[in-house]
Structure 1
Amino acid sequence: MIRNAVIGILVPFIGTALGAACVFFTKHELGRGVQRALLGFAGGVMVAASVWSLIIPAIEQSEQMGRLSFIPVVAGFWGGILFLMLLDHIIPRLNNNAAKADISSGKLSKTAMLVLAVTLHNIPEGMAVGAIYAGYLSGSADITAGTAFALAMGIAIQNFPEGAIISMPLHAENKSKCRAFADGVLSGVVEIISAVITVFLAGVIIPAMPYILSFAAGAMIYVVVEELIPEMHEGERSNMGVVMFSVGFTIMMALDVALG
């Protein structure tokens, strides 16, 4: 079981690293339309993962509370939302206007802005993977190895374009390919850290599992609504973002059902 958990926690990081490696094979920065499509896909994966892999298992964990089984899920969900709201004030958002303002004022380089913004995205993803593997390791959350791996694979799939979105623009701004790749990979390290911390906390506080699962779901939903959806609708022909959101949602849902 521990071996499966270690592999599962590393899978999303590998997805980020592979995406960042695109900088070695592609000369030009991703077009805005492609970025919108990839962000839409990532949003769909995260929403589906939040529902099937986190919220539903959290509700099942609270069934002994009867009609009040929603209370831990609601509390955990809002905890995740409020936690990300706090982080949103500390870490700069992945927002073009905010980025330009901070860069022009000399407070942050664009490299730092991008790495910090992606860190904000990766924290809840790491927490989600850590939460579901904590449930799998505890044996008390009715979470199978297949269900946990489905979430890890879904996040790895959406991390691939995320890694490319980070490394390729950095190279386009005269960063070396190796430096751009390293920054893209670095953005995924926080995912491993947050996953391990979540597994540890869940192992110490087993009764808190419904809260931890729904907390991770709330954090991921916040990222989708606050960051990904606005970005995928910017500019013309935003329908592609909606289509790719639906594709990502469908793939993640299918993975969870098929592997669970």
Structure 2
Amino acid sequence: MESFYVWSIVISSFCTTLGALPVLFIRHLSHRGKDSLLAFTAGIMVAASTYGLIPSALKLSNVYVLIIGILIGTCVLLFLEITVPHQDLDNANHQHHNGSVFLFLVAMSLHNLPEGLSVGMSYASAYEDLGPLVSFAIGLQNLPEGFLVALYVLLQNISRIKAVLYASITGVIECCAGLIGVYFGESFTSIIPYGLAFSAGAMLFVVYKELIPESHGDGNERVSTVSFILGFIVMIVLTHALR
């Protein structure tokens, strides 16, 4: 495993911590601001899946492998959604919420597993330009995610420092998943397209199940839609710039 891969995975995961740092200074985030961040993140993730992960999985295998991988990723996230108690991000701005911080962090950590795997698997693939692309995409969407996780924890009467720390822990879990993805990708080349398709399915599930509905939950549909499209376009531009 090259040190470049390790540092790229670490930096991508560390973006969660960077995104959480503003809670040390910002005391209020409007519903419109939160919804815009969620929608922009959704656009980035959809573009990363459709222009990065899915085409690469097809190049390495075939449409049947792609479908199987996407369905497995979707089913795994669906299973976790049903069986693991958690609080969705749309509750992040509501104080005095009775949900468990621990369960919320567990849920977010589980969401970060496929993101880390997607980075690791992309570096293990035969396409040299895929790893930096996916790593950058995941790192970029980790910024608002880290902020919202830290904000939720902060609003549960937990100190700002601990809020940043807890958000960082979810990033560490993603980093570990990325290293595992590289390890298995290098050891078992045949599972790389499944891993890429799995990650795409998991990311699309998160986008449609959580990010898009939550970004429309406070009456900011138009702003959120524009933010989604902007995020999608930004990721497409970056995709072509990095190739």
Q: Would you call these one fold, judging by a TM-score over 0.5?
A: yes
CA distance, structure 2, for counterparts of residue 98 and residue 246 of structure 1:
24
Counterpart for residue 58 of structure 1: 57
CA distance, structure 2, for counterparts of residue 3 and residue 162 of structure 1:
26
> Which of 144, 148, 162 in structure 2 is aligned with 1:165?
148
CA distance, structure 1, for counterparts of residue 86 and residue 221 of structure 2:
21
CA distance, structure 2, for counterparts of residue 175 and residue 48 of structure 1:
35
Post-superposition offset of 1:74: 1.0
> Which of 185, 188, 192 in structure 2 is aligned with 1:209?
192
1:191 counterpart = 2:174? yes
Post-superposition offset of 1:16: 0.5
Post-superposition offset of 1:96: 7.0
1:122 counterpart = 2:112? yes
Counterpart for residue 70 of structure 1: 63
Structure 1 spans left out of the alignment, 5+ residues: 63-68, 136-140
RMSD: 2.1
For residue 48 of structure 2, give the secondary structure of its aligned residue in structure 1: helix
Q: What count of residue pairs does the alignment treat as equivalent? A: 240
Post-superposition offset of 1:93: 4.3
TM-score, scaled to structure 2: 0.90
Query: What's the CA shift string for 1:147-172, capped at 9, x where partnerless?
Result: 32122112111111111112123324
Query: What's the CA shift string for 1:205-225, capped at 9, x where partnerless?
Result: 212222111111111111111
2:70–2:202 contact (8 Å) kept in structure 1? yes
For residue 174 of structure 1, give the secondary structure of its aligned residue in structure 2: coil
Larger Rg: 1
For residue 234 of structure 1, give the secondary structure of its aligned residue in structure 2: coil
Post-superposition offset of 1:97: 9.0
Q: Which one is further off, 86-95 or 149-158?
A: 86-95
Counterpart for residue 250 of structure 1: 233
Cα 1:212–1:169 change in 2 (3 A) is: closer
Post-superposition offset of 1:90: 3.2
CA distance, structure 1, for counterparts of residue 222 and residue 104 of structure 2:
25
Structure 2 spans left out of the alignment, 5+ residues: none
CA distance, structure 2, for counterparts of residue 98 and residue 240 of structure 1:
19
CA distance, structure 1, for counterparts of residue 89 and residue 174 of structure 2:
24
TM-score, scaled to structure 1: 0.85
1:5 counterpart = 2:1? no
1:27 counterpart = 2:20? no
> Which of 208, 215, 221 in structure 2 is aligned with 1:225?
208
2:123–2:130 contact (8 Å) kept in structure 1? no
